[in-house]
A and B are shown apart, each in its own frame.
Chain A
């Protein structure tokens, strides 16, 4: 049985092909219905979790292996991530073709500063997340089930149609947590790759190694939010764990997609010099000094509305620590205008890419190299 055929009947969904047929009706049509759905590229309704990453347990229980939580569910239960449900002993993902956010953004917003500067992305997000960050900037979406939000009917084919029509060079899986809409990312990114469209992914990387390796086959660039560098911070502030995240990042580095790291600096929580130094040291050792690192300014959100925004001076100090550690491309995010928005040649120090906000004001790179001293700059430039 094909993946797409294994859909959970959902009479609540709207008709397909304008024929007024619900997905339940299509299911009743058997192969013909599936063909009809495939024709329109529609796969409305929950989809079976990638069979490689879940298993049945005795007594109609299921266990998911996409993220390190390895959630065991009884029939009728929903995962911590809010997107996966045990339906009579089968595990379905409710985040498929029903994104809550669709927008066109600058690739710099992800953030990615060394990946097709100045290009746009079609950004897609679904409700749900497998973390519980108290400062989440998109909490209204991340802390809801996919179908509890206003959603769009957006099967994989439509995403492709849109980028082709608008001449957008990349699709971004972002805003909430792509790990929880793994199946959609897997299918859309595969289609995109076939058609020469790039895929970029902003994630907390709280994902098992095998699924992330699977994503690395079709994702061209990752921006990983490494939220802190202590178990306690991950546990207390994000409801998550550091070690599996480091493992996943190492797996991404080993697999080869372009990688940038972003660290949101939360005043008094994860901004100690020692923690920042440890984080930078790890990046140097495991990912290399050419890995771009962004220190992002926190703005009061969700359950941390009483915490002030990160002082710019704190961000500047973090950047100094990172540069002392030898990292060559260290940026400050969400503070603009600022010198640390620009890309500099690590060899001759000249400004190569000038930015204001998420706009690229000037890009002097010639074939990915500094026009002054000819040294190649790490990144994906064309």
Chain B
């Protein structure tokens, strides 16, 4: 059971306001898609959710508890909220298995032998069992991104965040990564993703939020947003990408 609520989130970089009063609820097992032009604040919002950025104002409730309060241990919280980035960010000096094992080994204080079966299981689940011992530069972009997803999942997070994880991929590799998201959605993972894949959002999202200049201008089920947008800015954005 996991539920994430953002209440009145504000965030600026110096003079530049990047989130101005964002409210968002992600229910257990839901997939919420953030769409919006480049620079509208999608990445920043995701980074705030797992405390990579500190918010200026507002509350971030994970199952009802405010995780944004100063003084809480950010490491402890990040272990419960996984994030995958556009540029994979695998550790180049470790093979896929070591990439995945590092965090559980260090933070959960579990030995390699103890972890190995469940990690292998994860690789199998996402069709990468034969790639475990490859280094990142021996993997395709799609495979690297799937390893990055596995690495985040190995921490057994309650929520997963995805920041345009297919944007850096060659077109023919996008599908395999989207399949991983489909699978996670089926398995009941609660997730928030910033995406440019509109057809994917249309197909799977429970809720779509259109971000514009740091605000959620419009939100609703994908049918409503995509076929019948209310705001002219949403209409213009959708027209430009579809």
Q: Is B one of A's binding partners?
A: no
**Which A residues are closer than 8 A to B by beta carbons?**
none
